[in-house]
């Protein structure tokens, strides 16, 4: 699985929490699929930070996707 690109589609400032809520679309290419597909994720980030907000939102969406859809680690078996 490879994330080809990320784009912030819609963002709004949640004044009560000091957070920016955004919908981020990820273009993903899986080994099992011949055509890339789009996944849209909702994520939040603090309004202020060291890196640019767009990059933080895109990185947050990528991390959420990888945590949710990454292949589970296979437990190794012991040889008898």
Residue listed under structure tokens 């890196």: 51
Cα 79 to the chain's mean position, in Å?
A: 38
Instruction: Give the phi and the psi of residue 30 in degrees, each rounded to 5.
Output: -95, 155
Q: Is 60 exceeded by the pLDDT of residue 10?
A: yes
Q: How many domains does the chain have?
A: 1
Strand partners, 28: 3, 37
Alpha-carbon span 48 to 61, nearest angstrom:
17
Q: What is the mean pLDDT of residues 26-33?
A: 89
pLDDT score of 1: 79
pLDDT score of 63: 93
Q: What is the reported pTM?
A: 0.79
pLDDT score of 68: 83
Q: Is residue 43 part of a domain?
A: yes
Q: Is 80 exceeded by the pLDDT of residue 11?
A: yes
pLDDT score of 69: 73
Q: Is residue 61 part of a domain?
A: yes
Domain of 23, in residue numbers = 2-67
Q: Is residue 76 part of a domain?
A: no
């Amino acid at each position: 699985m490879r994330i080809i690109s990320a784009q912030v589609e819609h963002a709004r400032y949640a004044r009560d929490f000091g957070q920016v809520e955004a919908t981020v679309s990820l273009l993903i290419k899986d080994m099992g699929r011949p055509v890339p597909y789009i996944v849209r994720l909702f994520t939040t980030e603090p309004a202020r930070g060291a890196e640019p907000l767009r990059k933080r939102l895109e990185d947050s969406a990528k991390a959420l996707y990888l945590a949710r859809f990454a292949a589970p680690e296979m437990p190794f078996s012991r040889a008898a």
